[in-house]
Amino acid sequence: EDQVTQSPEALRLQEGESSSLNCSYTVSGLRGLFWYRQDPGKGPEFLFTLYSAGEEKEKERLKATLTKKESFLHITAPKPEDSATYLCAVQAHYGGATNKLIFGTGTLLAVQP
């Protein structure tokens, strides 16, 4: 069964304290892995897409990496405005030529000044 697991469930960091969020997945034939950021009371906001093992993408203090079994979202020198829930999702085959996104339950990140 296609599955996405994120860890930790919650992470508290001091401003400037770098860390990583983990997303491990089980899917038949990975077609893409997505990272989203979700602020309280808002919809998920797209961050990155990764398609193949070894691929890396960066945006400001965030860097996403991908292996054959997991993805990491590295946060370097975080600021309080980086506080949010970070969601990981993989594309899984639904039927025919159609795919669907399967989400993990997210990591709630709190960065304290």
Partner 1 sequence: DTAVSQTPKYLVTQMGNDKSIKCEQNLGHDTMYWYKQDSKKFLKIMFSYNNKELIINETVPNRFSPKSPDKAHLNLHINSLELGDSAVYFCASSQDIAGLKTQYFGPGTRLLVL
Nearest Cα to 65, choosing from 49, 46, 41?
49
Is residue 11 a contact point for partner 1 (CB under 8 A)?
no
Q: Does 85 bind partner 1 (CB under 8 A)?
A: yes
Stretch in the footprint of partner 1 (CB under 8 A) among 11-19, 52-60, 69-77, 94-102: 94-102
Beta bridge partners of 76: none
- Rule CB under 8 A: say whether 99 interacts with partner 1: yes
Of 43 and 113, nearer to partner 1 (C-beta) is 43
- Binding partner 1 (rule: CB under 8 A), the pick from 19, 32, 74, 76 is 32
